Amino acid sequence: MKNRNYDIETIINSLDQILNGNYKIHVDIDPQSELREITEKINKLSDDLLSSFSAIKKISQGDFSLEIKGTSGIAAGLKTVQAHIRHLIWQCKKAADGDLSQKILPMGNLSEAFNSMVTSLKNARDELADLNLNLENKVKERSAQLKKTYLDVIHALAFAIDEKDPYTHNHSKNVTRYAIAISREMGLSEGEIDIIGRASLLHDLGKIGTPDYILTKPGKLSPQEWEKIKLHPHKGAKILEPLEFLNAEAKLVLQHHERFDGKGYPKGIKGKSISLGARIMAIADSFDAMIRERSYRKALTNQEVITKLKKGAGMQFDPKVVDVLLKLLQKEII
């Protein structure tokens, strides 16, 4: 009787190499005793029945050749290897989907290679995320700088217009101060107040397109000259229109000469059809004009200002905003 013990040893050695010595492999069966048992059973079988077992060959009376292809210990080893391979494939799929947080169980050089690969990929991905974040921050920073530069240029233009006429010196800044104080008293949000503040600084920007002789003319304007002046809200809004981040401000600039009773310009809209910001700016603008000297009149007294504001409530001005301004005047906040 021949057996193939050397095959079992070879397979065990191979498995040990594959598993890199991380698993203890043993075979539960005793080949000699099993073979003895098999031999006894086979001797009891008839030749015909024996021929149906292709793995068992009768060499002579009492001598058989038996080919042993596996044992329960080897099968368990192979199952372990299969489980590791399945685990490896699953982890590869997860890594391909972007999950680089997992490591695989010890499996010799293969696990080292896989774990090293996911570590390298994770490092590369983290580095890329850092670069993206830096890039995003730089774009935001540049974008903010660019917006500030635009605003600085536009403010410089608006202030230059104020400075053309000594009677309108600092007019835009004053209007901004009053409009912000009124907005705050009315409980508007900081975002709304910011928009009203910027729009107030830019409200007369469109006068850049008004001839100088009209802007600096001493005395009253002719009807034709007034028609030219009345174009400035539209011109100001047009200048701001291409700057998307100033769209809300452009709308207020367009409406700052509308009247509550609908008799203003350029569109003649009335009441709450006019944005609240523009209604506030209209009062702040007129208030600054009232309290400053003009080439054709002196500055109004406090009482004259109060009388004029009350008279204009519901006509030129939003009555609620007039009340707020009167309250601020009474408290001497303005």
Report, in Å, the least distance between residue 257 CB and Fe ion: 6
Residue ranges in 97-215 assigned as alpha helix (H): 109-164, 171-185, 190-201, 212-215
Dist. CA 219–CA 17, nearest whole Å: 105
Nearer to Fe ion, 42 or 202 (CB): 202
Report, in Å, the least distance between residue 254 CB and Fe ion: 11
| Cα distances (Å, whole numbers) of residue 11 to 5, 15, 20 | 10, 6, 14
Half-sphere exposure of 320 (CA within 13 A, CB side): 10
Site for Fe ion contains 249 (CB under 5 A): no
Nearer to Fe ion, 204 or 258 (CB): 204
Half-sphere exposure of 328 (CA within 13 A, CB side): 22
Nearer to Fe ion, 64 or 260 (CB): 260
Report, in Å, the least distance between residue 253 CB and Fe ion: 9
Residue nearest to Fe ion (CB): 204
Q: Which amino acid is at 41?
A: K
Contact 106, 20 (CB under 8 A): yes
Site residues for Fe ion, 124-163, by CB under 5 A, read: none
User: Would you call the peptide bond into 266 cis, given omega within 30 degrees of 0 as the criterion?
Assistant: yes
Return phi, psi of residue 207, to 5°.
-70, -10
Token pair belonging to 250: 């452009």
Report, in Å, the least distance between residue 330 CB and Fe ion: 27
**Residues listed for the chain:** 334
Report, in Å, the least distance between residue 213 CB and Fe ion: 18
Site residues for Fe ion, 178-207, by CB under 5 A, read: 204
Nearer to Fe ion, 230 or 308 (CB): 230
Nearer to Fe ion, 204 or 318 (CB): 204
Report, in Å, the least distance between residue 231 CB and Fe ion: 11
Report, in Å, the least distance between residue 235 CB and Fe ion: 11
Site residues for Fe ion, 279-308, by CB under 5 A, read: none
Binding string, residues 218-237; x marks residues near Fe ion by CB under 5 A: --------------------
Dist. CA 84–CA 108, nearest whole Å: 11
Nearer to Fe ion, 162 or 204 (CB): 204
> Could you tell me which residues come within 8 angstroms of residue 269 by beta carbon, excluding any fewer than 6 positions away?
255, 258, 262
C-beta atoms surrounding 170 within 10 Å? 14
Residue ranges in the chain assigned as alpha helix (H): 5-18, 31-43, 47-51, 72-96, 109-164, 171-185, 190-201, 212-215, 223-229, 232-240, 247-255, 276-291, 302-312, 319-330
Nearer to Fe ion, 25 or 276 (CB): 276
| Count of residues interacting with Fe ion (CB under 5 A) | 1
Report, in Å, the least distance between residue 161 CB and Fe ion: 10
Dist. CA 141–CA 143, nearest whole Å: 5
Nearer to Fe ion, 77 or 236 (CB): 236
- Give the binding site for Fe ion (CB under 5 A): 204
